[in-house]
Amino acid sequence: MPEMDSGRGAGKRRAKRFLSPSQKYEIWLQLVRQEVTVAEVASAQQVDRSTIMRIKQVAKEGALAALAASKPGVAGRQRDYELEAAKAEVARLSEACKELAVKLTLVEGKGGWG
């Protein structure tokens, strides 16, 4: 019986290869330094050239986004409104407890506990 071809033709597709973030970073550095070409690094890493082009694109977009978000000088703290509200509530309740303790002491006197 002849073997059935799965429709891929004479060329076989490479197995999918996943690169770690550190490998991608090293690839990007080599490309930026112009130590290798896209074709050379794709061949060395056994991935498609489009994968290398995507690494370059993602690195560029990420760098531009990070630079756009950074501001010169000391970064100001963002206000935590929920924390401020909670602290104000704690202060208010503490004062209310103190007032109630004073009233209780006045009503029952110093020795009213026993």
pLDDT of residue 114: 54
Please answer whether residues 28 and 59 qualify as being in contact, where contact means their C-beta atoms are separated by less than 8 angstroms: yes
- Roughly how many angstroms between the first and final C-alpha of the chain, as a whole number? 103
pLDDT of residue 4: 46
The pLDDT tens digits for 30-46 are 999 999 999 999 999 99
Q: Give the mean model confidence (pLDDT) for residues 67-78.
A: 75
What is the model's pLDDT at position 91? Answer: 96
Burial status of residue 19 (CB atoms within 10 A of its CB: 0-12, 13-18, 19 or more) = middle
How far CA 114 is from CA of 41, 59, 102, 108, in Å, comes to 87, 75, 18, 11
> What are the structural domain ranges in the chain?
18-68, 81-114
Amino acid letter, 92? R
Of how many residues is the chain composed? Answer: 114
Please tell me the least confidently modeled range out of 8-17, 77-86, 90-99: 8-17
pTM: 0.51
Question: Residue 14 has what pLDDT?
Answer: 64
